Structure 1
Amino acid sequence: MSIKVDAEKCIGCGTCEDICPLDCIRMDEAGKPFIKYELCWYCGSCQIDCPCEAIKVTIPFLIR
């Protein structure tokens, strides 16, 4: 996976869900985010705006 959510750091605030421009992040029953990877553009907005630094985005391919 190229997007990792650290469940220990995540406080379930929903910022990542709100900020995602493609609406591909949802919160599960436990209040933790999960990503619909097939829709994600890997823009990094969820990582940038996460107040807990719980999300790590890495580009899954080499851009030249």
Structure 2
Amino acid sequence: MSFVAKFDSGTCPKCRAPIVAGERIETFSVGRINRYEHVLCPKTADVTCSICGGRWVECDCP
């Protein structure tokens, strides 16, 4: 489930960039702890797939 962050929420575990208010984030649980990560990480958004040449985050290549 994704939503817009109302407050700064630490750092994203996927890209290690800070999560700031206004960004789209999603939550996941690690045991009893809720964590937050970017829906689309800013550092990985422009990475291209070496197989198809498309955007890596949208690619279905293995």
Give the structure with the higher percent helix: 1
Aligning the two structures, in what range does the TM-score lie when normalised by the shorter sequence?
A: under 0.3
Structure-2-length-normalised TM-score: 0.23
Q: Which has the higher strand share?
A: 2
- Kindly name which structure, 1 or 2, has the bigger radius of gyration based on alpha carbons: 2
TM-score, normalising length from structure 1?
0.23
Kindly indicate whether structure 1 or structure 2 has the higher relative contact order, using CA contacts under 8 Å at least 6 residues apart: 1
